[in-house]
């Protein structure tokens, strides 16, 4: 897409609007967070030691929507070249509003895991009906791949939403990982000649950068479920189209590598708990961000940058995979697998005695049978 200088100025103007509105909204809400009940208090699983407002997600959403309103107003008076730049898909935005409201209700009042899961399932079905798919390619079984893509897309959307929520355990971690994945996917789209939704990308970039200004260590605010569920939804949907592009039969792996760290951390946690005889959703303090500090030491900021570097490497594999033919794609996937195993080994997850070690039975015996709130921050 050819973009003239005026459009570039407007794009960066939208980024600035989103950045400023996110900062302003977050600062304003921060003054009233305690009265509104939007405070994240420390407990045995959390790293922070003082109560911190969890209103950053609402600031992100306000900044994004304000910047989109700015574009919708300005493009009415600007040259035709800019008016041709598409605004975000209405179906995509509707799902985003619903998931953000779900997170907001949870931040304000607290809702059970089941209630959030029902909302996520409904949103996933809605997005699939709107035409979003993670296109599988089984090479010699195209019919089966087409049928499987719907169920896999459903699981992908719900899984990534919750994976981003679970990775939100250190100052600046979830927001920074999201930005790395967003830029990775944008580079893939650009290299493959796909249309870029630059309006939305610039708006969202400005909003998340505004939040990260207040969320880097030591954090003044957290994003809460409003932010983590919304960002998880965005990156889950944004990644889907990459599976329809490219030159090989393994393009469905590009989104998985691009969103790598949250996805693999969630899968690793579920596997680890299963091997230890625990419910796979039972909360603990053994995620990758916990392990990085435990194994390597150092400050929280250093640990976050280590995790950024892991996601950057996985993002590089995703970009290389998107440009590869079938045989080169097999090699890249092999190297990516070796790298993932190396990371897991370095974090000492592969110590067999520890991996199979049985813990005491969880105290929440009625965890999966009661109607109470699920203890994990989904």
The answer to whether residues 108 and 55 touch, using CB atoms and an 8 Å cutoff, is: no
pLDDT score recorded for residue 358: 52
In the numeric block, which tokens belong to residue 181? 């994945």
In the numeric block, which tokens belong to residue 263? 């996805």
Tell me what percent of the residues of the chain surpass a pLDDT of 90. 46
Torsions phi, psi for 53 (to 5 deg): -60, 135
pLDDT tens per residue across span 210-254: 999 999 888 889 999 999 999 999 999 999 999 888 888 889 899
HSE of 239, CA atoms in CB hemisphere, 13 A:
33
pLDDT at 369 over 60: no
Nearest to 184 by CA among 263, 91, 117, 286: 263
The answer to whether residues 259 and 134 touch, using CB atoms and an 8 Å cutoff, is: no
Select the more confidently predicted residue: 197 or 355. 197
Select the more confidently predicted residue: 44 or 76. 76
Cα–Cα distances (Å) from 316 to 313, 329, 337, in that order, read 5, 13, 13
pLDDT score recorded for residue 304: 93
Instruction: Name the E strands within 29-185.
Output: 39-40, 52-53
The whole-angstrom separation of Cα 320 and Cα 316 is 6
The answer to whether residues 173 and 222 touch, using CB atoms and an 8 Å cutoff, is: no
Cα–Cα distances (Å) from 135 to 92, 117, 150, 297, 331, in that order, read 18, 24, 9, 41, 21
pLDDT tens per residue across span 312-332: 999 999 999 999 998 999 999
pLDDT score recorded for residue 373: 35
pLDDT score recorded for residue 363: 47
pLDDT at 49 over 50: yes
pLDDT at 82 over 80: no
Cα–Cα distances (Å) from 353 to 46, 341, 348, in that order, read 26, 17, 11
The whole-angstrom separation of Cα 108 and Cα 117 is 17
Average pLDDT over residues 329-351: 90
Which residues lie closer than 8 Å to 342 by C-beta, 6 or more apart? none
pLDDT tens per residue across span 285-301: 777 887 888 888 888 88
The whole-angstrom separation of Cα 332 and Cα 314 is 11
Instruction: Name the E strands within the chain.
Output: 39-40, 52-53
| pLDDT class of 118 with cuts at 50, 70, 90 | very high
The whole-angstrom separation of Cα 250 and Cα 50 is 46
pLDDT tens per residue across span 185-198: 999 999 998 888 88
pLDDT score recorded for residue 203: 94
Helix, strand, coil shares, percent, the chain, to 5: 65, 0, 30
pLDDT at 106 over 80: yes
pLDDT score recorded for residue 375: 36
Nearest to 262 by CA among 184, 147, 357, 368: 184
The answer to whether residues 161 and 142 touch, using CB atoms and an 8 Å cutoff, is: no
pLDDT score recorded for residue 4: 67
95 Cα distance to chain centroid: 15
pLDDT tens per residue across span 148-203: 888 999 999 999 999 998 888 888 999 999 999 999 999 999 999 888 888 899 99
pLDDT at 334 over 60: yes
Torsions phi, psi for 374 (to 5 deg): -75, 135
Rg of the chain taking only CA atoms, in angstroms: 21
Burial bucket for residue 305 (CB in 10 Å: 0-12, 13-18, 19+) = middle
| pLDDT class of 91 with cuts at 50, 70, 90 | very high
Neighbours of 255 (CB within 10 A): 26
Neighbours of 32 (CB within 10 A): 11
pTM above 0.85, yes or no: yes
Nearest to 229 by CA among 69, 44, 378: 378
């Amino acid at each position: 897409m050819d973009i003239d200088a005026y459009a570039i100025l407007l794009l960066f103007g939208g980024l600035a609007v989103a950045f400023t509105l996110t900062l302003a909204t977050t600062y304003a809400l921060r003054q009233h967070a305690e009265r509104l009940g939007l405070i994240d208090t420390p407990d045995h699983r959390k790293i922070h030691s003082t109560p911190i407002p969890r209103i950053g997600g609402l600031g992100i959403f306000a900044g994004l929507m304000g910047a989109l309103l700015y574009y919708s107003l300005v493009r009415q008076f600007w040259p035709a070249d800019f008016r041709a730049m598409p605004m975000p898909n209405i179906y995509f935005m509707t799902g985003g509003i619903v998931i953000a409201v779900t997170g907001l209700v949870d931040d304000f009042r607290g809702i059970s895991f089941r209630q959030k899961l029902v909302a996520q399932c409904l949103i996933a079905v809605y997005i699939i009906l709107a035409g979003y798919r993670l296109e599988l390619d089984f090479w010699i079984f195209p019919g089966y791949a087409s049928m499987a893509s719907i169920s896999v897309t459903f699981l992908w959307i719900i899984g990534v939403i919750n994976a981003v929520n679970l990775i939100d355990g250190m100052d600046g971690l979830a927001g920074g990982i999201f930005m790395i994945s967003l830029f990775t996917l944008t580079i893939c789209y650009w290299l493959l000649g796909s249309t870029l939704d630059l309006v939305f990308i610039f708006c969202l970039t400005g909003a998340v950068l505004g939040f990260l200004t207040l969320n880097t260590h030591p954090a003044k605010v957290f994003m809460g479920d409003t932010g983590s569920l919304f960002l998880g939804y965005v990156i889950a949907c944004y990644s889907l189209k990459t599976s329809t592009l490219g030159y090989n039969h393994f393009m469905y792996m590009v989104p998985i590598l691009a969103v790598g760290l949250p996805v693999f951390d969630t899968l690793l946690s579920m596997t680890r708990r299963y091997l230890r005889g625990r419910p796979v959703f039972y909360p603990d303090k053994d995620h990758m961000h916990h392990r990085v500090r435990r194994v390597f030491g150092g400050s929280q900021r250093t640990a976050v940058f280590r995790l950024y570097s892991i996601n950057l490497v996985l993002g590089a594999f995703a970009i290389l995979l998107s440009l590869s033919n079938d045989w080169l794609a097999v090699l890249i996937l092999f190297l990516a697998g070796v790298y993932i195993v190396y990371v897991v080994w370095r974090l000492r997850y592969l110590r067999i005695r520890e991996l199979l070690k049985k813990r005491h039975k969880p105290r929440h015996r009625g965890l999966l049978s009661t109607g109470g709130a699920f203890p994990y921050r989904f």
